[in-house]
Structure 1
Amino acid sequence: MTANSYFVPGFGISRAVIQNEIRYHCGPDAIVRPYTHQGRDGFLVTTTGPPLTKAQIEDLKMSSRDYEEKQSRRADEVDVFVNQPIAVTQRMRRSG
């Protein structure tokens, strides 16, 4: 069997959810990675199994909403501000 790759738009789909559930939907050899196609962010799915159906993509979106809600509640319990700025030190390049 040959593997097929196809793009799934990422709007409404959590990376953690699609990576966790892709084998359930598309078979044990399925892999998924972040991908940009024609300027749209999403995922590149590679599998020898069947492609995702529209219903399965909707299931992934529902699971993603649930996952994100759980993550935000967990953050509230720990009193963490999700979008809090984090200091990043940058090394200055020396001109040669």
Structure 2
Amino acid sequence: MAAANSYFVPGYGISRAVIQNEIHYYCGPDSIVRPYVHQGRDGFLVTTSGPPLTKAQIEDLKISSQEYEEKQSRIANESNVFVNQPVAVHQRMRRV
């Protein structure tokens, strides 16, 4: 088994749900992706023993992410979900 390599993928235009679902298709079944910040930029840390993502694959992830976000938006609009709706949170009182 080859050694695992880790590398940073900038997250601009890439949905977390999409990259986590599709990383196995592009880089192999042992691939792992997690949110990561590199030099102040948000993105993803990909760890895999398979081939790294190519520029074309990253562009495919961006296209899939846009389609995913549009679909999620349509679902929210159809079900009349207000995204910024306040949510009640019960807080415990501190003991002094």
> What is the TM-score normalised by the length of structure 2?
0.90
Report how far residue 83 of structure 1 moved.
2.5
Q: How does 1:42-53 map to 2 (within 5 A)?
A: 42-53=43-54
Report how far residue 52 of structure 1 moved.
0.4
Runs of at least 4 residues of structure 1 off by over 6 A?
Answer: none
Report how far residue 74 of structure 1 moved.
0.4
Q: How does 1:75-86 map to 2 (within 5 A)?
A: 75-86=76-87
* Partner Cα distance (1:9, 1:90) in 2: 37
Counterpart code for 1:8: V
* Partner Cα distance (2:24, 2:52) in 1: 11
Alignment pair present for 1:74 and 2:87: no
Report how far residue 91 of structure 1 moved.
4.4
Q: How many residues matched?
A: 95
* Partner Cα distance (1:77, 1:49) in 2: 40
Segments of 5+ residues of structure 1 without an aligned counterpart are none
Report how far residue 90 of structure 1 moved.
4.3
Report how far residue 12 of structure 1 moved.
0.6
Segments of 5+ residues of structure 2 without an aligned counterpart are none
Over the residues paired in the alignment, what is the CA RMSD in angstroms?
1.3
Percentage of pairs with the same residue = 81
